[in-house]
Amino acid sequence: MNASSIARDVASGKVSAQEVLSRHLGSIRVSEPQVGAFIRVMETEAMAMAKAVDEKRRQGARLGRLAGVPVALKDNLQVSGVETTCGSRILQGHVAAYDAAVVKRLKSEDAVLLGKTNMDEFAMGSSTENSSFHPTKNPWNLGCVPGGSSGGSAAAVTCGMASLALGSDTGGSIRQPAAFCGLVGLKPSYGRVSRYGLVAFASSLDQIGPLSRTTEDAALALSILAGPDAQDSTCSKKSVPDYSAVLGQGVKGLRVGLPKEYFLPGLDAEVEGSVRGAVEVLRQLGAEICEVSLPHTRYAVAAYYILAPAEASSNLARYDGVRYGRRSPSARNLEELYELSRGEGFGPEVKRRILLGTYVLSAGYCDAYYNRASRVRGLIRQDFKEVFKKVDLLATPTAPTAAFRLGEKSSDPVSMYLSDVFTIPSSMAGNASLSIPCGVNRAGLPIGLQLIADDFQEQTLLRAASAFEKAKPFPRPEKFSS
């Protein structure tokens, strides 16, 4: 069952929150040993939450919009009293002292928090192989990656271990796993959802959003997560529309642009065929389709891998073995404490990005790299602003390929980085973006269609995605394969 159906059934008394939780815990016992979606299952805490929901209903109190819905949380979201590691050894043993803003909102709507999901360390990766604990496998094919960095959240929802999950998206970390696992993955506009309590990777890019089986669930989740927050100065004060109200409106009259820069040699032929087929479905449903151009797209990946590591280098400087996190037992002085704690605590990809970020911010190089990349980012954002004067939505592939094999790109960082080539531009611009499954390849792996809208136009994304979903329902994986 999807999250919306569970909430309705729990509220009506058709099923209890404890029964729903027991079914999901049963799924975890069966699937988790093969998939590895979780770092930590919060069984005791979840059962207490489910009991509280059932007691609330018994007393006749009003239930929240996610009553009894088991929700999984990416392990970079703080939950008070629960260890938060960000998939890194350097944060092992760090127990959160407070709830993230989104966690507070889930709790206020009677969600049942199921556990913390696996992720690429500090959200740096595209395959969930960079976790310090274990890789996560794709439920569609256990020999393939689920995408990253929110791969644990995607895998948990795909095989029924959770009904809904939250991830974070800096350059594609919600949308790419959604594409690889056949889910709806929504990256809200920058500032639409509070980042308070999200462990920072790149503060000007990070955004929290849902991974779900349906657009109905994505709309419900965003309605709860979105809105102003005084504890996050970057969070927008704009009012939150009723995202669920637009789901039945269809796409008739919407103008959908196909950016020519996203359909170039190197794009997998099966991916291109599925995406163009999906666009044809939108045309048949009444959307107007036209070709558009985003000329600075070609510079997006290069600029991103200057700006994001620079921000990461700054954000990760706080992990020094002094205040919290791992402290090396071998250090004999302060300098060794810094070197050994960070050297032992951070994995190879995180070290790579810290080194890159520190370099581009260093004296003599900041103008040549960081400042120039910042100007390129402005040009990319301007491209989107201009194109959204002509169209309501953009339709593109979410990723250039379907899920790749475990280990296939581990030794080639540049190839791994290019997995996000189609998601990075809208992250740089701060636009709302969504991935929805639009087909499977010959190997039986899902393919994702990315829809991009202007700032704070998530309702347009959800309207189009819902219409497509109804016209072309997507199957669930029936059993694991390898």
Q: Are 182 and 447 in contact (CB under 8 A)?
A: no
**Which tens digit of pLDDT belongs to each residue from 169-183?**
999 999 999 999 999
Establish whether 173 is a catalytic residue.
Answer: yes
**Which tens digit of pLDDT belongs to each residue from 236-265?**
999 999 999 999 999 999 999 999 999 988
Q: What pLDDT score does 478 carry?
A: 64
**Which tens digit of pLDDT belongs to each residue from 439-482?**
999 999 999 999 999 999 999 999 999 999 999 998 877 666 65
Q: What pLDDT score does 265 carry?
A: 85
Q: Are 116 and 210 in contact (CB under 8 A)?
A: no
Single out the catalytic residue among 4, 16, 31, 74. 74
Strands (E), 99-242: 112-117, 164-169, 184-187, 207-212
Single out the catalytic residue among 16, 132, 149, 236. 149
Indicate whether this model's pTM tops 0.95.
yes
Q: What pLDDT score does 398 carry?
A: 98
List C-alpha distances in Å: 7 to 47, 117, 243.
16, 22, 17
Q: What pLDDT score does 324 carry?
A: 80
Q: What pLDDT score does 476 carry?
A: 74
What percent of the chain is modeled with pLDDT above 70? 99
Establish whether 74 is a catalytic residue.
Answer: yes
Q: Are 67 and 51 in contact (CB under 8 A)?
A: no
Q: What pLDDT score does 264 carry?
A: 87
Q: Is the pLDDT of residue 22 over 90?
A: yes
Domains, in order of start, for the chain: 3-257+394-471 (3.90.1300.10), 298-375 (no CATH)
Single out the catalytic residue among 132, 150, 163, 173. 173
- The residue-averaged pLDDT of 109-117 equals 98
Calpha distance 372→307 (Å, rounded): 10
Q: Is the pLDDT of residue 12 over 80?
A: yes
Q: What strands, in cross-sheet order, belong to the sheet with 207-212? A: 38-41, 112-117, 70-74, 164-169, 207-212, 184-187, 432-440, 446-453, 393-397, 255-259, 288-292
* Helix, strand, or coil (residue 289): strand
- The residue-averaged pLDDT of 217-230 equals 98
Q: What pLDDT score does 187 carry?
A: 98
Q: Is the pLDDT of residue 134 over 60?
A: yes
Q: Are 146 and 84 in contact (CB under 8 A)?
A: no
- The residue-averaged pLDDT of 359-370 equals 94
Kindly indicate the confidence band of residue 326, based on its pLDDT and cuts at 50, 70 and 90: confident
DSSP 123: G
Q: What pLDDT score does 444 carry?
A: 95
Q: What pLDDT score does 479 carry?
A: 60
Average pLDDT, the chain: 96
Establish whether 239 is a catalytic residue.
Answer: no
Nearest to 171 by CA among 417, 397, 456, 459: 417
